[in-house]
Amino acid sequence: MNIDLELYKVFYVVAKNKHMTKASEELHISQPAISQSIKKLEDQLGGTLFLRSNKGMELTEEGKMFYEYVKGALELINNAEHEFTSFKDLSKGEIKIGCSTTLTKLILIDVIKDFHKTYPHINIQITNDLTSNLINSLKLGKLDFVIFNESNIKETNLNLEKIKELKQGFIYNPDYYKDNINIFENLNKYPLILQKSESNSRKLLDSIALNNNVKLIPKMEVVSQELIAEFTNIGLGIGFAIIDLAKRNYPNLKELNINNRIPNINIYLATNKNNLLTFASKTFIDYLK
């Protein structure tokens, strides 16, 4: 059977009002049009829905049963429309973001603050993990989008968009060290504090060093940029970090002059081509850009 939802709506309104005139006023269509709709529906069903009398429109026993089902179905549809509207106007919804702890602090915090002021009912979930793990979660549909720093990620089913550049380089505490490093080779003469080798930041640094015919040998390898800045600040060595984050926490830290040979780091936004973004995620990305 071909279902015409308008016929069911007409039936519902007539059955609810029990009167053709009242139904016509509510539906804003003529009484003859209503009669035609009821007749068409009865023909499709193969039975009589109403008993017509001077008092109005009375449901048959079969019509009463049919009315209860149609009423429930239309209420479900109406609820679905309200739910959809709630998601569309962002009075309800969820955003699932993948991002490193460092980029969460540098990029997301201020955006989340502004977004939350306008859309306080949107639930924002942030997953902090290695980029490779976040990208896998994105491919599986567990995340709406991922923010990550420059890497060699090449995924045909992902959209990648550059959204920002950050300055990176070597930092030191002048209370413990002096800036007398002019070439990459001299870096290994000092205790280096670097992120672990599987991090994007470390991979990029190792690539830069190899281009200068140097393999860097760290004294300490840590998980986070925050620890690099903290250990550098207490004089444990010379660290490689995102400059803005390091100086935000420790304004006394200085940059090595050799940093002018180190390019800025690119920050990318990754989305899954196979998954449609929610209204909330689309709006948040607009804020992010």
Do residues 253 and 226 touch, judged by C-beta distance below 8 A?
no
Question: What confidence score (pLDDT) does residue 104 get?
Answer: 92
Question: What confidence score (pLDDT) does residue 268 get?
Answer: 93
For residues 136 and 75, membership in a common domain is answered with: no
* CA nearest neighbour of 59 among 31, 20, 67, 35: 67
Question: What confidence score (pLDDT) does residue 1 get?
Answer: 53
Q: Model-level pTM?
A: 0.64
Please count the structural domains in the chain. 3
Question: What confidence score (pLDDT) does residue 86 get?
Answer: 67
For residues 231 and 247, membership in a common domain is answered with: yes
Question: What confidence score (pLDDT) does residue 114 get?
Answer: 94
Question: What confidence score (pLDDT) does residue 201 get?
Answer: 83
**CATH code of the domain containing 69:** 1.10.10.10
**pLDDT one-digit tens code per residue, 58-107:** 899 998 999 999 988 888 888 777 777 766 777 788 999 999 888 898 88
For residues 80 and 213, membership in a common domain is answered with: no
Q: Please tell me the distance from the alpha carbon of residue 52 to that of residue 39, in angstroms, as a whole number.
A: 12
**pLDDT one-digit tens code per residue, 149-167:** 866 667 778 999 999 988 9
For residues 49 and 65, membership in a common domain is answered with: yes
For residues 145 and 173, membership in a common domain is answered with: no
For residues 15 and 135, membership in a common domain is answered with: no
Domain boundary among 88, 108, 125: 88
**pLDDT one-digit tens code per residue, 231-284:** 999 999 999 999 988 998 899 999 998 887 888 888 999 999 988 888 899 999
**pLDDT one-digit tens code per residue, 181-204:** 888 889 999 999 999 988 878 888
Mean pLDDT in the chain? 88
Do residues 289 and 283 touch, judged by C-beta distance below 8 A?
no
Residue 53: give the domain boundaries.
5-88
Give whole-number Cα distances, 61 to 40, 41, 178, 183, in Å: 19, 16, 95, 93
Domain boundary among 88, 118, 140: 88
Beta carbons within 10 angstroms of residue 122's beta carbon: 22
Q: Please tell me the distance from the alpha carbon of residue 200 to that of residue 194, in angstroms, as a whole number.
A: 12
For residues 27 and 77, membership in a common domain is answered with: yes
Written as one string, the DSSP assignment of 97-164 is EEE-HHHIIIIIHHHHHHHHHH-TT-EEEEE---HHHHHHHHHTTS-SEEEEES-----TTEEEEEEE
* CA nearest neighbour of 34 among 53, 54, 57: 57
**CATH code of the domain containing 146:** 3.40.190.10
For residues 83 and 145, membership in a common domain is answered with: no
Q: Please tell me the distance from the alpha carbon of residue 1 to that of residue 70, in angstroms, as a whole number.
A: 16
**pLDDT one-digit tens code per residue, 133-148:** 999 999 999 999 999 9
For residues 249 and 190, membership in a common domain is answered with: yes
For residues 280 and 152, membership in a common domain is answered with: yes
For residues 273 and 207, membership in a common domain is answered with: no
Q: Please tell me the distance from the alpha carbon of residue 110 to that of residue 278, in angstroms, as a whole number.
A: 21
